[in-house]
Amino acid sequence: MKKIYLDYAATTPFDPEVLEGMTPYFFEKFGNASSLYAYGQEAKKAIEDSRAAIAGFIGADPTEIVFTSGGTESNNFAIKGAAFALQKKGNHIITSAIEHHAVLEPCKFLEKQGFKVTYIPVDKSGLVSPVDIKKAITQNSILISVMQANNEIGVLQPIAEIGKLAKEKGVYFHTDSVQTIGHIPVNVNDLNVDLLSLSAHKFYGPKGVGALYVRKGTRLETFLHGGDQEKGRRASTYNTPAIVGLGKAIELCKEKMEKEAAFQMALRDRLIKEIPQRIPEVILNGHPLQRLPNNVNFSIRYIEGESMLLRLDMMGIACSTGSACTSTSLEPSHVLLAIGLSHEIAHGSLRITLGRWTKKEEIDQLLETLPQVVEKLRAMSPLYEKK
C-alpha cells in the first residue's frame, strides 16, 4: 500500500540536498566552532554562512540571528527574555488566544512570576483584530506576541499592522513564524517585528535546530548560561551540522518557494471546494483566503477526529486533527474553541497540510477515501442518527 503524507505542518520530510550539505560536518569537518585552530574555524565559517542565509531570507542583518534548538526554545527565549529584561519598565504582556502552546505556556509561567497577560480573542475566522490589540496596550505593556500564521487553521494574521501599533507605543513585538518561513515571503522590516521565531524542520531541514531574530537594540535576558556563544545570548556548543542544514534548507526554499506555493494553493483551493461537495455538514475552519497556501482545516460533524485519523492511516493516508505537540491530549483544540466551535464539533476536526512532495494524484486519493471513511463512522454514530 502506497503511503500518502499530508501533515507537513507537523514536520516536513528531510530534503536530500540538505543532508548532502550537512554530511561533511559530521565527519571531516567536525571541529568545535569555538576552537581557534583550523578545524574550528572551518566550522565557524559554515555557521556564519548559514546565519547570513537566514538573515538574507528575512531581510535582517546576520548579527540579529541567534541559533536555537527550534521553535519552542525561540518562543521561550523571546517571551521570557523580553519579560525579565524589561520587568523594571512594566509587567504586562499581550498575546492571542490561539497561539501555539510554546507561547501560551511561557505566558502562563510568567503569570506565576507576577506578570500580567492579556489573551486577545479572535473572530470566527481566527483573525486577531489590531483594534483589540490597541485597546489592550497600557503604560505597563512591554511585549506583544502574535503568531504570523496559526499552525492548526493556517490563518495569516495582520502582523505588519500590529507591529506598527507596537512600534508607535514603544512595545516590543514578537511573532512566531514557524509555519510561514519557507512557505511565504517574510521580511522583518515589512512586518515591524522586534523578535521572530523559526524552526528548520518545518521547511525540509533537520529537527532540533531553529533561530530567533532579535532586532538590534532589543533587550533580552540571557536564556542559557555557561558560555559566550551567540555573543553571550545563548550558551551551548554549536550544533554545526544542524545549523548548516538550516541554512541549506532556507536557501532551497528561496529558490523553490514561489512555485511550490502556487501549486499548493491550487490543491488547497480544490480541497476547500470539493470536500464540502462530497461530504455533507462540513465546516471550513479559518479564513477562506487569508491563510497559508498549504493548509486546510475542516470540522466534520457527527464523527470523532481520532477515529477518522486512525481509519485514514489504515488506508495509508497521514493527516492530523491539529497541532502535533498536543496530539495525545483528549481535550478539543483551544484554537477551534476560540473561533466559536462547540466541543462536539471541535472534536471532529481534520487538518490537511501540503508540501514539497505532495502530488495531485495524492489529493485525488484523499478525495476518494475521505467520504468513505466519514460514511462508515457516521453509520456508527448515534448523534448522526438523531439529527
Q: Are strands 141-145 and 92-96 parallel, antiparallel or unpaired?
A: parallel
Question: What's the CA gap between 180 and 199, in Å, rounded?
Answer: 10
CB 15 within 8 A of CB 250: no
Strand partners, 318: 5
Quick one: DSSP state of residue 229? G
The candidate with the shortest Cα–Cα distance to 51, out of 206, 205, 230, is 230
Q: Active site includes 107? A: no
Query: In whole angstroms, what is the distance from residue 196 CA to residue 202 CA?
Result: 15
Q: What is the arrangement of strands in the sheet containing 349-353, beginning at the earlier edge strand?
A: 282-284, 295-300, 349-353
Of the candidates 107, 253, 319, 325, the residue annotated as catalytic is 325
Tell me the residue ranges of DSSP E strands in the chain: 4-5, 65-68, 92-96, 116-120, 141-145, 172-176, 195-199, 210-214, 282-284, 295-300, 317-318, 349-353
∠ at Cα 83 (79, 86), nearest 5°?
A: 140
Q: Cα(289)–Cα(293) distance, rounded to whole angstroms?
A: 9
Return d(Cα 243, Cα 250) in angstroms, integer: 11
Residues in contact with 248: Cβ distance below 8 Å, sequence separation at least 6, in sequence order: 17, 18, 21, 22, 50, 53, 205
Catalytic positions, please? 325
